[in-house]
Amino acid sequence: MTIAIVAAMHEELSALLAQMPDEQRVRVAGRDFWVGHLNGQAVVAVLSRIGKVAAALTATVLLERFGVQAIVFTGVAGGLAPGVRVGDVVVATRLLQHDLDASPIFPKYEVPLTGHARFAADTEISEALAEVAAEVLVDPVALLGQKVVDDFGLRLPAVHRGLLVSGDRFVSTAAESAALRLALPDALAVEMEGAAVAQVCHDYGVPFAAVRTISDRADDEAHGDFTRFVSAVASRYSLALVGAWLAALPPPEDDEAT
C-alpha cells in the first residue's frame, strides 16, 4: 500500500523529506513527487501548491501516475468556530467548497452533477489521526519548546473534528469570517485546498483525510507572523502527527499478507 502525504507549505514538505531515508524525485506536471518510505511505510510526498485547482491536479497525478491507495493532506487553516484556537488541530469529517454556487440550477455549495456538497473524509484514517493528534498535543512544550509555546500562546491545544471548508481566497478579515460563520455555522475552519482533493478522491473511490493546524482566526489578524508559525509550529505538528500515524500502521509485509 502506497500512501500520499500532501503538504500545503514548503516548510512542512521539507520536514517530511528530512525523515525519508530513500526519497527519489519524480517530476510530473511541473511538480516534484518524492517517492520513498516514512516510518516503514511506502509514501509519495508532494507539495500541493495553493488553491483548489492546483490541489485537484496534484491529487489526480498521485492517483493516475503513482497509483496511491490513500491521500492524507496536512497544512494550516483559519479557525472559524468558537473555541477553535491558534495551535489547535482540526481533523475533517466532511469537506465543502464555500465559494461554489451554481444556484439556482443546483443547490448552493453542491458540486454540479454529483449530488454532493459535503464530501466525507475516510472515517478510519481520520479517527486514527485524531487519536494521534490528541496524544501529541498533550505536551506542546516537549514538541515545540517553551519559547515557541509562549510566543504563540499555545495553551492546552485541542483536537476538533467536523466540517472543513475550502475556497480560492485567503480569508483574512473579520467581516469575511463572520459571513462564513453565518452561512455555515458548523464549519470549524477554512483553508484553500482540502475540499477539492476530497472531491477527486470521492470520484476515484480512494480514502482521503485532512488534518489542519489552526494558524489564525481568519480575521484581521490573520497575516500575523504566519511564516514563523508554519516553520516553528505547523511543520512540527504535521511531522509528528503523520509520522506517528504511519508508525502505527501494520508493516507492509503484514498488510500485503492480508
User: What would the pLDDT profile of 58-104 be if each residue is shown by its tens digit?
Assistant: 999 999 999 999 999 999 999 999 999 999 999 999 999 999 999 99
Distance (Å, whole) CA 29 – CA 184:
35
- Reply yes or no on whether the pLDDT at 257 is more than 60: no
According to the model, what pLDDT value does residue 253 have? 66
For 156-179, how does the pLDDT look when each residue is reduced to its tens digit (9 = 90+)? 899 999 999 999 988 888 889 899
User: Domain with 91 in it: what CATH number?
Assistant: 3.40.50.1580
CA-nearest of 108, 101, 78, 98 to 90 is: 78
| b/e 126-140 (16+ beta carbons within 10 angstroms → b) | bebbbebbeebbeeb
Question: How confident is the model over 9-18, as pLDDT tens digits?
Answer: 888 899 899 9
Check pLDDT > 50 for residue 255. no
| Residue 256 placed within a domain | no
- Contact predicate 212/75, CB 8 Å: yes
Q: What is the pLDDT of residues 41-52, one digit of tens each?
A: 999 999 999 999
Residue 258, in any domain of the structure:
no
Phi, psi for residue 181 in degrees, rounded to 5:
-65, -35
C-alpha cell at 187: 464549519
- The model's pTM is 0.92
Q: What is the residue range of 95's domain?
A: 2-251
Inter-residue contact 195 to 165 (CB < 8 Å):
yes
Residue at 186 is within a domain: yes
Residue at 131 is within a domain: yes
User: Is 257 within a domain?
Assistant: no
Q: Is residue 245 part of a domain?
A: yes
User: Angle CA(20)–CA(11)–CA(119) in degrees, nearest 5?
Assistant: 90
Which of 98-112, 116-130, 138-152 is the least confident region?
A: 138-152
pLDDT single digits (tens) 165-214 = 999 988 888 889 899 999 999 999 999 999 999 999 999 999 999 999 99
Is 6 within the bounds of a domain? yes
The pLDDT-based confidence of 258 (bands split at 50, 70, 90) is very low
Q: Which three cell numbers stand for residue 127?
A: 479517527
Q: What is the pLDDT of residue 216?
A: 80
Residue 251 pLDDT class (50, 70, 90 cuts): confident
What is the rounded CA–CA span in Å between residue 25 and residue 255?
A: 25
31-38 and 2-7: which strand pairing? unpaired
Residue 195, in any domain of the structure: yes
Residues 6+ apart with CB under 8 A from 18: none
How many domains does the structure of the chain reveal? 1
* Residues designated as active site: 12, 216
